[in-house]
Amino acid sequence: MGRSRRTLPEELLLLALDPATGTTAQPQSLDLGLAGAQLVELALAGRIAPDGDRIAVVAPRPTGDPTLDCALELLRRRGAPVRAVHWIGGPRLGLRQTYLSHLERCGMVHAVAGQMCGVLPTTRYQATDTAISREIRSRLDSAIRTGVPPDPRTAALAALAHAVGLGKHLYPGNEGRSSRSRLRDLIRHDPMGGLVAHAVMDVQNGVAAQPRRSAASAPRQGGAGARPAAEPARGVPMQPRHGSMARAVAH
């Protein structure tokens, strides 16, 4: 995978970054969304594929992106397809900070050191090229305004943005209500994005390990139309924090 194209985790993080404050919206759910975005990006790259409510590795060769390849290797080591809710619900060891650090190295954001309450060190992040964030946002806006089915990447980005609660950040207030509703509706345009987005929401809602019904889901044993069962999250290790990123990030 060439580095000329931004990955979905990077785009989701840039969407969540507030240009005025340098903080990220929905920080807790955003970590879940970034883990889900990794799955969608790996699927778009042909490395994994959905197997009902599970994720199966179909091509373990590296993508060329170190963070994605770490996730791919961890999936490969499982030896069997893993439930999306298990992967997304696993502990996120600094995943958001890892991607912020990556964006900083790529020159897309720069870190601004500060203090919380005059004591605790904090780090805020400012976009260095706002045109990138505007381009990402305009894709969502276009899909919402026109009603034309978006490309799979944009559809998945919309699904993840809705799943982590960015709708109220992107389209606030009563005037943004219809846009938030249409953002939610875009989830149906990408099966993998929809699977992952539902898993993100299931983890947030603490859904028990009982199958739910959904006509859009692939059937598994026991009947047609069975939606993935959301199970209690088990730990899936992610990349450790980089040294400079161990500092507190203000939310």
How would DSSP label each residue in 77-135?
A: HH-S-EEHHHHHHS--SSHHHHHHHHHHHTTSEEEEEEEETTTEEEEEEEES-HHHHHH
Determine the pLDDT at residue 82.
Answer: 94
d(CA 14, CA 135): 11
Q: Which helix (H) or strand (E) holds 203?
A: helix 191-205
d(CA 240, CA 139): 32
SS3 label, residue 190: coil
Overall residue count recorded for the chain in this entry: 251
- Helix 130-146 crosses helix 177-185 at what angle (to 10 degrees)? 80
d(CA 147, CA 63): 33
Question: Which is nearest to 136 in space by CA: 3, 6, 4?
Answer: 6
Task: Report which residue type is found at 206.
Answer: G
d(CA 244, CA 251): 17
d(CA 40, CA 43): 5
Q: pTM here?
A: 0.77
User: In this structure, are residues 163 and 16 in contact, taking their beta carbons and an 8 Å threshold?
Assistant: no
Q: Which helix (H) or strand (E) holds 32?
A: helix 27-44
Parallel/antiparallel/unpaired status of strands 226-227 and 82-83: unpaired
Query: Which residues have a Cβ under 8 Å from the Cβ of 148 and sit 6 or more positions away?
Result: 142
DSSP class of residue 17?
B
Determine the pLDDT at residue 248.
Answer: 38
Parallel/antiparallel/unpaired status of strands 120-127 and 248-249: parallel
User: In this structure, are residues 69 and 63 in contact, taking their beta carbons and an 8 Å threshold?
Assistant: yes
Radius of gyration (C-alpha) of the chain in whole angstroms: 18
Chunk the chain into consecutive blocks of 10 residues (it has 251) and report each block's average pLDDT, rounded to whole numbers: 71 89 85 95 96 94 94 93 92 83 87 73 80 90 89 94 94 94 90 93 75 42 40 37 37 43
Determine the pLDDT at residue 193.
Answer: 92
d(CA 204, CA 198): 10
